[in-house]
A and B are shown apart, each in its own frame.
Chain A
Amino acid sequence: MTVDAESGMDRATHVPAQKPTPPAIRRWRRLRSAAIVLMTQGAILAVLLGLWDHVTENNKQAAFMFGSPSAIAGFLGEMVRDGSLWRDTYVTGLETLLGFLVGNFVGTVIGLSLWYSRFVSRVVEPFVIALGSIPIIALAPIIIIWFGTGLISKVAMSTLSVVIVALVTSYKGAVGVDTDQINLMRTLGASKFQIFLKLVVPASLTDIFAGLKLTVGFALIGAIVGEFMSSSEGLGHAIFKAGSLYIIPKVFAALVATIALALLLTFVVGRIERLLMPWRRIH
């Protein structure tokens, strides 16, 4: 009782004197909670795969229609051995990456520069909305006519899937900058270009990165759809070919590689975000 009262007093009068948790213990706690999350995720995956395997094990029809984890693993092994997994993943990865980079670069540059002129942005707005509402798949036949059946047409598909989203998110970030902050820059004597460079661009980074994360998936869709239309390699090609031949486990095997590619790209974007926005890390 007295001990409680004393420690209560102590806390009330010497708040800053409270011992901070040592960094080693804090790190260990963080690691432990991360491990628990990872283990739970692994358990869910194992249960789902187990159920899938169990249902398809003694049922030939189900195994044909839905594949099975063991058959998928078998095809993955085969694709690793004959080298097609690396080749297809590399091809699709390259198309996706190029489309992602070109589309985001072009979209972000245009989106941010629209901040410069209210007039131009108002003129351009309906065109952007119109272009953004076109389903990219509808453009695929024309793109193949324009750019052929090689790498360039897939990169073009991927770029087109990305560019409008990148434009809209970066523009939204740029026009969302606090007016008071712009006024402050003006009272400090900043020119419009200085306001753009020192305030608008960094302030838009949060929205730009939200767009980047979103467009990883879009870039991949563009590349895969491009491969569906006409191709001789790539994960989309593998999926399309296996699907046409009713080899469903092989479709899933190529899908696993596609998912892995998407996760890898998202991870890299997240890392770059942490690197470029160090002030977001401390809280």
Chain B
Amino acid sequence: MAVDRKRRRFFKAVALLGLSGRLWSVGHEAEARPLFPSPVRTNRLRPPGAVPEELFPLRCVRCGRCVEVCPYGSIRPLDIRNGVFAGTPVIDVTKVPCWLCMKCVEVCPTGSLQKVSQQDVRMGMAIIDKHSCFTWKEEGLLCHTCYNVCPFKETAIKLQAMKPVVVEDKCTGCGLCVHACPVTRDDGEKAINVQPVYSFDAAGSGHEGR
């Protein structure tokens, strides 16, 4: 009996320790960094139909077929400075954006890029910086460049009171607007930038995880 009580006390202690550890770690979970931080960031996106970023570098065999088939030279492979992400494809939309021809999706042998229709592509979402956009700053300019170049004009981007507004659930993140935007901020970004908001959330990406 005594042994049994001792044992019970031990288990209780272990459970308490475990629980406290759990509680302690909750506050730190947000800071947990992956072993290899992803190279995907503002205006540097995965090609259309990409699986979530947690899975992408594991699946991609770095065969470069998406890079080769891209008729615009939008897709470029990363180099070894990106560690384990070397060879994976990214699109830097400030240099060459994506025209959604969907050829890369056709040739991917690993399913890292999955079949998706043009309007369902979610490479990211364009966000207008109202502090640097000519039109939003109200300097008397009516620059509608981003609106004019959008392949889904009036669907993914609209004009409200003559000012461009991105329709969040329609924007494909192709980056044509970023490329065309005449404003370049001091930090190298534009007045409209594509954020890879879907890349890091497997549930919300809209693509099948596996």
Q: Are A and B co-members of a single complex?
A: no
- Measured CB to CB, the residues of B under 8 A from A are none
